[in-house]
Structure formats: C-alpha cells, structure tokens
Structure 1
Amino acid sequence: MAHKDELGRHGEQLANDHLEACGYRILDRNWRCPQGELDVVAEDDGTLVFVEVKTRSGTGFGDPVEAVTPVKLARIGRLANAWCADRRPRTRRMRVDVIGIVVPPHGDVRLQHLRGVS
C-alpha cells in the first residue's frame, strides 16, 4: 500500500509541475470535505479547473484516464460545487481536466492531459 501511496504522490507532483508549466495557477491540492477529495484545483485563464490525477506503474489494467468513469466525473462535479461553496471564487467558468500518468519501473514517464472532459 505504501508503494501505491508513494506512486500517487509522485504522480500528483508531476501533474502539478505540468500544469504550472502550462500556465495554470494552482489554487488547492488534495482539498478534502466529507464527500471526498479533489486532487488539484487550478485556474487557467480565468477558468476554474478541477483536475483528477490518475497514476499507474503500467497499463496492465488499462490506461489511467480510463479509470475516470461517468460516475467519477459526477462525483468530481459535486466536489467542485462544495469547493466553490467553501472558497467562493469570483469566476463562474469551470471545467474538469484529467491527467493520466504512467510511471513504469523502467523507461520514460508518460503524461496525458485531457482538457475539458466535463
């Protein structure tokens, strides 16, 4: 389990570095409420972006972005509303991005950023 947690933290750091390199401003990381957790909340050119990060060590169980199902997207939407109620952002524009990261034991890291999946 510790390896999985470490892999997830590493993936989230890679995702944050990627987002910042793309000009996003990170507003929150691992924001929690009773309903769950948002991995990353960022601002991209005046739009609030709720980013789900999925990290795996391989694709034996499918690509990481495939783990973000319609049920998961609906949950992210509810969490986004809770975040907005808590933080009261000025902007009303919102979207959900997904970042899938594969960190193989040997070889190059692969990062896939899907913008506006919801």
Structure 2
Amino acid sequence: MARHNELGKWGEQYAADYLQSIGYDIIERDWRIGHRDIDIIARTGDGTTVVFVEVKTRTSDVVTKPDDAVDIKKIRNIGYAANNYIKTKGIVDEVRFDIISIIGNNKENAQLAHIIEAFNPCLAY
C-alpha cells in the first residue's frame, strides 16, 4: 500500500476513534457506490442525526489545509453517494455533512479539527 494510502487509513481510524469518544456510533466505514465513497457514516450520540464524514489527513499544512481538498467535485460525489445511501437504507432522520481534518501522522503529534455542518451538497449544483 502506498504511503499516502496508509496515512489516509490511519487518519480514518483516528477520526472514527475520536467520533466514538464523543458519543457517536459508527454505522459504516468506506461505504461505496461505484467509484464514489463516504469515509465514515455515523449517528450522533442522541440518535437523531446521521452524519456523513469526509476525513482528510495530511502530514503538514504547509501547502494547504487538509479540508481545502474537499472541493466542489468531491462535495458532489459525497452528495451523490449519501443520497444513494439514504435511499438504500431508508433513512428518515436528519442528515449532516462534516469534515474531520487531521494534520500529523501519529497520535502524539496529530491535530484534529471537526468541522460540523461543513457543507451542503445540495448547494454544489
């Protein structure tokens, strides 16, 4: 596995651990429809909201911040995948789209930012 893929997998696990530590239940990881994917699908601790989470991990933010990589194309792809997930699973709860941005490559030096309601894919068209 390429180094950037390993970093991404580590970041997704770190993000999932974080979400669980604040009371979220992880429903799915790396859910796919075709070539589109959602990194984490979780339910808030109060059980009222399904959260679609995009995780972006970088070793540093010298060039760009990790969450800047969530561009209009990525937002549309997440929206498409989320719509399919909602229909497939019959979700009737509130939904939300978050970004977890991680800078670092291990628990000792990682900086995690959880951006709640980071985007609305309906506005990306």
Instruction: Report the TM-score when normalising by structure 2.
Output: 0.85
User: Which residue of structure 2 aligns with residue 33 of structure 1?
Assistant: 33
- CA deviation vs aligned residue, 1:51-109 (integer Å, no higher than 9, x gap): 00000111132110111123322221111101112222242x1110000101158x611
- 2:7/2:105 contact within 8 Å kept: no
User: Which residue of structure 2 aligns with residue 24 of structure 1?
Assistant: 24
- Which shifted more, 13-22 or 81-90? 81-90
User: Which residue of structure 2 aligns with residue 2 of structure 1?
Assistant: 2
Equivalent pairs counted in the alignment come to 116
Runs of 4+ that moved beyond 3 A: none
Aligned-pair identity in percent equals 37
CA distance in 1, matches of 2:36, 2:72: 16
Q: Which amino acid aligns with 2:72?
A: P
1:86 and 2:88 matched = yes
CA distance in 1, matches of 2:65, 2:7: 15
Q: Which amino acid aligns with 1:40?
A: I
1:108 and 2:109 matched = yes
Instruction: Report the TM-score when normalising by structure 1.
Output: 0.90
Instruction: Please report how far the alpha carbon of residue 47 of structure 1 lies from its aligned counterpart in structure 2 after TM superposition.
Output: 0.5
Runs of 5+ in structure 1 lacking a partner? Answer: none
CA distance in 1, matches of 2:73, 2:36: 13
